[in-house]
């Protein structure tokens, strides 16, 4: 049952039509983003565009494997973004570790540490998949389904516990 | 009461027109790059989305105040620009007033961005103000020539005289060229977009803005565009005897800047200043000599 008021629905539809993204190019998956943004697949026709800083962005793309060192930066980046915000995991590496599943230096499941709204499967996901995924994310935003940022606020304890487990005391240092 | 109604109508009209036009210009850029591009009302979504953000972080009083100052200053400037046959305060369209008020917008933004204490913002602001040094001198000179010839600094009057002597674009072509180049720098279009430079200094002054603040600055930028392009249309293309003619001229000038900027790469900031103080300044002096020497027929 949809409990949103009319005004909130208007807001959600507006949000769903304009996504500014910040891509955190950790892994190889990022290489499929340039063709998605430029003339061949033209992401801008849906109102999706790159932005320069976390403050301005609405969606954070984590493109590929995350070593524990970069996980800390991703957490900072995500927390600097202004809600409502969404996080998209790219490729099997964020989903279950992918080909790095037994590495000592990477994390396997991104959603243990940050709330992921959408996963794009594939190693690496092709531009077609990226566009399809984004269309789906836009639908989810319009219907108010994508609420990872709320989950993150509500289950902060649980996320913090997992983050601490992976990073130890390093979580709050700036080294 | 009637005055307030007029002001509100003017501001809303300028907002709707300019935001739709800048959305359309995204489409134009996309076609140049062989893409489809977003719908022309995309910028309304973007601005709406920014105002609908649930949180927007503030970095202290100076930060907030600067944004309001920039916004207020630019809206105030807007009211002094004649749009075709209309102006909010008839007879009050002094060029000096417009230039002074327009500076409040830039200064407010400078103050606010420095208040965010982000080094990228400081770099961006210092670049923006350096660039202003570059283009303001030639641009002001083009207008000084005009004021000298016609003995008035009312923008509306300067626009009106052109129905007798022909457009300033034809009467003083070198001035018009210089003013157009300066206009591109004022709008921050490429090749003069060093202050923003997203890939280089992470969008410069805008680096720390989010949500409502960014939305306000976007609207402020649209209003500033309306003022600056409007100045060019009034000073060089004879304003407009009806609203429609004015808007057509406006659209042509604006799209020309957009198309040129889509084809350009970026200057470094010292190259920008060196450029402006070399070619446009020389051209505008030649124009001044011609005008003083032979007068306008
Ligand atoms: S999923 Fe594949 S392409 Fe993506 S980061 Fe992992 S190994 Fe690279």
Ranges of each domain in chain A:
6-172
**For residue A126, what pLDDT is reported?**
87
The model's pLDDT over B106-161, given as tens digits with 9 standing for 90+, comes to: 888 888 888 888 888 888 888 888 888 888 889 988 988 888 888 888 888 888 88
Residue to mutate (ligand 1; options A91, A102, A119, A127; most atoms within 8 A of CB): A91
**For residue B10, what pLDDT is reported?**
85
Query: Taking CB atoms and a 6 Å cutoff, what residues make up the pocket around ligand 1?
Result: A 27-29, 64-65, 91-93, 98-99, 123-124
Q: In A, which residues are within 8 Å of B211 by CB distance?
A: 82
B37·A44 Cβ contact <8 A: yes
Q: Cα separation of B223 and B211, whole Å?
A: 19
Mutate to test the interface with B, among A44, A57, A78, A144 (most CBs of B within 10 A): A44
Q: Is A83 on the interface with B (CB under 8 A)?
A: yes
Nearest residue in B to A36, CA atom? B35
**For residue A53, what pLDDT is reported?**
87
Say yes or no to pLDDT of B259 above 90. yes
Residue whose C-alpha is closest to residue B127's, from B208, B217, B221, B201: B201
| Section A44-62 average pLDDT | 87
**For residue B21, what pLDDT is reported?**
92
| Section A147-157 average pLDDT | 86
Q: In B, which residues are within 8 Å of A50 by CB distance?
A: 198
How close, in Å, is residue A58 to chain B by CA atoms?
9
Q: Are strands A48-50 and A19-24 parallel, antiparallel or unpaired?
A: parallel
How close, in Å, is residue A66 to chain B by CA atoms?
23
| Section A7-25 average pLDDT | 86
The crossing angle, in degrees rounded to 10, of helices B211-236 and B42-51 is: 140
> Both tokens of residue B242?
């009806």
Which 3 state secondary structure label does DSSP give A59?
strand
> B72: which residues sit within 8 A by CB, 6+ positions away?
B104, B108
- Pick A55's closest partner by Cβ from B36, B198, B210: B210
The DSSP annotation for B91-155 comes to T--BHHHHHHHHHHHHHHHHHHHHHTT-HHHHHHHHHHHHHHHHHHHHHHHHHHHHHHHHT--BH
Say yes or no to pLDDT of A175 above 60. no
How close, in Å, is residue A123 to chain B by CA atoms?
27
How close, in Å, is residue B56 to chain A by CA atoms?
6
**For residue A173, what pLDDT is reported?**
61
Nearest CA to ligand 1 atom 6: A93
Domain at A6-172, CATH from 3.40.50.12280, 1.10.600.10, 3.40.1160.10, 3.40.50.1820: 3.40.50.12280
Say yes or no to pLDDT of B192 above 70. yes
| Alpha carbon distances (Å) from B279 to A39, B182, B193 | 35, 12, 19
Q: Cα separation of B37 and B254, whole Å?
A: 18
| Section A120-132 average pLDDT | 87
Which pLDDT band, with edges at 50, 70 and 90, does A172 fall under? low
Tell me how far the alpha carbon of residue B112 lies from the centroid of ligand 1, in angstroms. Answer: 41
Mutate to test the interface with B, among A13, A47, A82 (most CBs of B within 10 A): A82
Residue whose C-alpha is closest to residue B213's, from A56, A11, A13: A56
Say yes or no to pLDDT of A174 above 60. no
Dihedral angle over CA of B257, B263, B267, B271, nearest 10:
-70
Which 3 state secondary structure label does DSSP give B14?
helix
In chain A, which among 31-70 make CB contacts under 8 A with chain B? 38-39, 42, 44-47, 50-53, 55-56, 58
Say yes or no to pLDDT of A13 above 80. yes
Say yes or no to pLDDT of B291 above 90. no
The DSSP annotation for B61-77 comes to HHHHHHHHHHHHHHHHH
Asked whether A117 and A86 are in contact (CB, 8 A), the reply is yes
**For residue A39, what pLDDT is reported?**
86
Between chain A and chain B, the number of residue pairs with CB atoms below 8 A apart is: 80
- Report the DSSP beta bridge partners of residue A24: A62
Q: In A, which residues are within 8 Å of B210 by CB distance?
A: 55-56, 81-82
- Report the DSSP beta bridge partners of residue A120: A90
**For residue B264, what pLDDT is reported?**
87
* Sheet strands (E) in chain A: 19-24, 48-50, 59-63, 86-90, 118-120
Tell me how far the alpha carbon of residue B268 lies from the centroid of ligand 1, in angstroms. Answer: 37
- Pick B52's closest partner by Cβ from A11, A20, A42: A11
A47·B42 Cβ contact <8 A: yes
Say what percent of chain B tops pLDDT 70: 99
Instruction: Quote the mean pLDDT of chain B.
Output: 86
Q: In A, which residues are within 8 Å of B37 by CB distance?
A: 42, 44-45
Give the up-direction half-sphere exposure of residue A23: CA atoms within 13 A in the CB hemisphere: 19
**For residue A109, what pLDDT is reported?**
86
The model's pLDDT over B74-85, given as tens digits with 9 standing for 90+, comes to: 998 888 888 877
Which pLDDT band, with edges at 50, 70 and 90, does B19 fall under? very high
Instruction: Quote the mean pLDDT of chain A.
Output: 85
The model's pLDDT over A159-169, given as tens digits with 9 standing for 90+, comes to: 888 888 888 77
> Both tokens of residue A5?
């008021």
């Amino acid at each position: 049952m949809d409990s949103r008021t009319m005004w909130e629905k208007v807001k959600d539809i507006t949000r769903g039509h304009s996504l500014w993204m910040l891509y955190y190019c950790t892994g190889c998956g990022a290489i499929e983003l340039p063709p998605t943004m430029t003339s061949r697949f033209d992401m801008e026709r849906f109102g999706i565009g790159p932005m320069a800083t976390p403050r301005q962005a609405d969606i954070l793309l984590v493109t590929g494997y995350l070593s524990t060192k970069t996980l800390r930066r991703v957490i900072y980046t995500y927390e600097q973004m202004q809600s409502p915000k969404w996080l998209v995991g790219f490729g099997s590496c964020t989903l279950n570790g992918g080909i790095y599943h037994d590495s000592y230096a990477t994390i396997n499941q991104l959603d243990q540490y940050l709330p992921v709204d959408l996963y794009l499967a594939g190693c690496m996901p092709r531009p077609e998949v990226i566009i399809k995924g984004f269309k789906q994310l836009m639908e989810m935003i319009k219907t108010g389904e994508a609420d990872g940022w709320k989950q993150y606020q509500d289950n902060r304890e649980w996320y913090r516990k997992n983050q601490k487990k992976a990073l130890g005391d390093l979580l709050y240092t700036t080294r | 009461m009637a005055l307030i109604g007029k002001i509100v109508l003017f501001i809303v009209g300028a907002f709707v027109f300019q935001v739709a036009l800048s959305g359309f210009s995204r489409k134009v850029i996309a076609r140049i790059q062989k893409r489809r591009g977003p719908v022309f009302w995309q910028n309304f979504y973007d601005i709406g989305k920014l105002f609908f953000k649930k949180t927007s972080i503030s970095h202290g009083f100076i930060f907030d105040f600067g944004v309001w100052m920039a916004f207020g200053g630019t809206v105030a400037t807007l009211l002094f620009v004649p749009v075709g046959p209309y102006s909010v305060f008839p007879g009050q369209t002094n060029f000096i007033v417009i230039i002074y008020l327009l500076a409040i917008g830039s200064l407010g933004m400078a103050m606010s961005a420095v208040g965010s204490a982000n080094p990228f913002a400081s770099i961006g602001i210092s670049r923006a103000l350096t660039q202003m040094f570059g283009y303001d001198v030639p641009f002001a000179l083009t207008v000084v020539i005009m004021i000298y010839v016609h003995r008035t600094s009312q923008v509306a009057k300067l626009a009106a005289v052109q129905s007798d002597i022909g457009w300033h674009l034809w009467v003083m072509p070198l001035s018009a060229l210089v003013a157009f180049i300066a206009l591109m720098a004022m709008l921050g279009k490429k090749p003069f977009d060093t202050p923003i430079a997203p890939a280089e200094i992470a969008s410069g002054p805008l680096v720390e803005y989010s949500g409502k603040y960014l939305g306000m600055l976007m609207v402020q930028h649209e209003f500033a565009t309306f003022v600056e392009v409007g100045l060019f249309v009034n000073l060089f293309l004879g304003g407009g005897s009806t609203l429609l003619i004015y808007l057509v001229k406006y659209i042509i000038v604006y799209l020309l800047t957009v198309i040129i900027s889509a084809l350009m790469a970026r200057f470094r900031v010292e190259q920008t200043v060196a450029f402006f103080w070399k070619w446009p300044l020389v051209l505008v002096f030649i124009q001044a000599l011609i005008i003083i020497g032979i007068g306008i027929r």
